[in-house]
A and B are shown apart, each in its own frame.
Chain A
Amino acid sequence: MPTVTFTDAQGGQRTVEAAAGDSVMETAVRNGVPGIVAECGGSLSCATCHVFVAEDDLETLPPMEEMEDEMLYGTSEDRRDNSRLSCQLKLAEGADLHVTTPETQV
């Protein structure tokens, strides 16, 4: 079972068991993890599911498509090299991902 560890901007951590095929955003929202808003439900319309991915995990992720890349330029907290929109991060069986949520999403 994939797991995702969310660290909030204050350093608080929570590890959540996910279902393979779900996105990091879906995992957060279904389990009530604060720090991910995701108003648009994953249709790349709102850029409020921004996360910073742990450096070691970056290369395990699917590559970024153009629309995600574009939306990341408009996130509330400025993008960094390890920024992703968590709705685009589908979890494979056995994945163990670590992400940090920004101070603000809106």
Chain B
Amino acid sequence: MAQDQTRSHGLLIIGASQSGVALAGSLRALGYQDPITLLGEEDHRPYQRPALSKEFLQDKVDKEKLIFRAHQYWDDHRIELVKGERVERIEKNPDGSGVARSTTGAEFPFDRLALTVGARARRLELDGADLGGVLYLRNADDALELKAQLPSAEHLVVIGGGFIGLEAAASAHAMGKAVTVLEVGPRLIGRAVGEETSQFFLDAHRAAGIEVRLGVQLSRIVGEDGRVTGVELGDGTVVPADIVLVGIGVVPNTELAEELGLECGNGIRVDEYALASDGHTVAIGDCANMPNPIPGAPADERLRLESVNNAVEHAKVAAYSLTGRREEYRSIPWFWSNQGPYKLQIAGLSVGHDRTVVRRDGTDGKLCVLYYRDGRLIAADCVNSGVDFLDVKAALTKGLTVPADDAADPARRLKELAVSGAPEPLPATPRS
């Protein structure tokens, strides 16, 4: 591509992901005038991922419904959208400018760089994992492949009882498939929810007819003629499978950042302003390892969040940094996972809790578990209890807590029970 050396190259955003799209939009909303190029490696226009394991898999929505923005939007906002270009090398100058080169030989010069490169599905390291019919579910092509193979399959085995695995399991079960979920750990969704919530989903999925096995040992994937036929467990039994869907978490895409010499460690390390270790490059969303954004969290606590909410909120922080403002990332993370008829919503992070209060016990299909640390509300797992979820999210955002004894009474609105909690939280990131 011919380059006018006097012209500003503006910002190059690598990754046409939820966070990449959000960053471009936030910058224009803040009045950023420089050119923005949004570069994606997939051959699809930027799309929403959450439905891939649910409505899209079940053919309830088509691909067009997942597209983030109309063509006109990109033109109106002067955002150059580039599809199908995978960056393999970046040369960067000390002032933060540079050029990115793609595998097709195209060059993308920039004055400033943003990495919204996301994460990839963690691969199963097991004999037979390369057999046909062993699938993953991270992007649209993965979902299209799974959709293409599902009609001729009777038995689906899901390896991994986390969000993606259980959402896909519930979807496939609703489509009439025999589904078995194999989880190596002692409970479902163990990384994200508490024990009561794990138990709720175990009971709910089993009651629906999904076979769930916990604490299994995986020996190998077995197959015939290059195609999977089952999963052999540690006790020698073979669970029959026409498709094995692996959902065992993700690995952040840090390779480009590492080559740039940026500090990495479970993601690209950024500060509270979304700036990487060079002080110029921003990295946000699934790929970023950042200080815990929850107001009042210990200063040295770092984490990586995989959620739409984080992509959107982190993008605002990065947009401020790129326009010369400094706004710390302060936000209450939230997550959702729809599994069949069950809508799980999580507000806050329950890590480190020292007390739980079961507000709704799940007997009527509604669950609400509140988590406390040092007497203060820090998080809630809610199933089909949307108001409880929104009340907790609002209370945490305002720095409020709900006394544990009051919260246990499901007849009383949490919103009405919320009181100010110590210590005083820092102000949240502005949301303009």
Using an 8 Å CB-CB cutoff, how does the interface string of A33-46 with B read, 1 for contact, 0 for none? Answer: 01001011101111
Q: How far is the CA of A26 from the CA of B336 in the complex (A)?
A: 19
Most chain A CB within 10 A, of B65, B67, B76, B397, is at: B65
Interface segment among B112-120, B243-251, B255-263, B388-396: the answer is B388-396
Give the tally of cross-chain contacts (CB within 8 A): 68
Contact A39 B390 (CB under 8 A): no
Judged by a CB distance under 8 angstroms, whether A75 is at the interface is yes
Contact A43 B68 (CB under 8 A): no
Contact B69 A76 (CB under 8 A): no
Contact B77 A32 (CB under 8 A): yes
Contact B338 A45 (CB under 8 A): yes
Judged by a CB distance under 8 angstroms, whether B70 is at the interface is yes
Q: How far is the CA of A106 from the CA of B55 in the complex (A)?
A: 25
Contact A44 B343 (CB under 8 A): yes
Q: How far in angstroms is the closest Cβ of chain B from A84?
A: 15
Contact B70 A30 (CB under 8 A): yes
Residues in B neighbouring A104, C-beta threshold 8 A? 431
Residues in B neighbouring A67, C-beta threshold 8 A? 343, 386
**Total count of chain A residues near the partner, CB < 8 A:** 24
Contact B67 A30 (CB under 8 A): yes
Contact A26 B65 (CB under 8 A): yes
Knowing A40-B308, A41-B50 are in contact, say whether A31-B73 is a contact too (CB < 8 A).
Answer: yes
Q: How far in angstroms is the closest Cβ of chain B from A30?
A: 4
Residues in B neighbouring A93, C-beta threshold 8 A? none
Which of the residues B68, B76, B387, B415 comes within 8 Å of A70, measured between beta carbons? Answer: B387
Judged by a CB distance under 8 angstroms, whether A71 is at the interface is yes
Q: How far is the CA of A67 from the CA of B390 in the complex (A)?
A: 13
Residues in B neighbouring A74, C-beta threshold 8 A? 386-387, 389-391, 394, 415
| Interface of B: prevailing SS | helix
Contact A43 B50 (CB under 8 A): yes
Residues in B neighbouring A71, C-beta threshold 8 A? 386-387, 390
Q: How far is the CA of A70 from the CA of B70 in the complex (A)?
A: 31
Q: How far is the CA of A12 from the CA of B48 in the complex (A)?
A: 29
Judged by a CB distance under 8 angstroms, whether B25 is at the interface is yes
Judged by a CB distance under 8 angstroms, whether B51 is at the interface is yes
Contact B29 A34 (CB under 8 A): yes
Residues in B neighbouring A46, C-beta threshold 8 A? 334, 336
Judged by a CB distance under 8 angstroms, whether B277 is at the interface is no
Not counting A32-B76, A67-B343, A71-B387, a sample of 7 additional A-B residue pairs whose C-beta atoms are within 8 angstroms of each other reads: A26-B65, A40-B50, A45-B343, A46-B336, A67-B386, A71-B390, A74-B391
Q: Which residues of A contact B (CB under 8 A)?
A: 26, 29-32, 34, 37, 39-41, 43-47, 67, 70-71, 73-76, 104, 106
Q: Which residues of B contact A (CB under 8 A)?
A: 25, 29, 48, 50-51, 54-55, 65, 67-70, 72-73, 76-77, 308-309, 312, 334, 336, 338, 343, 345, 386-387, 389-391, 394, 397, 415, 431
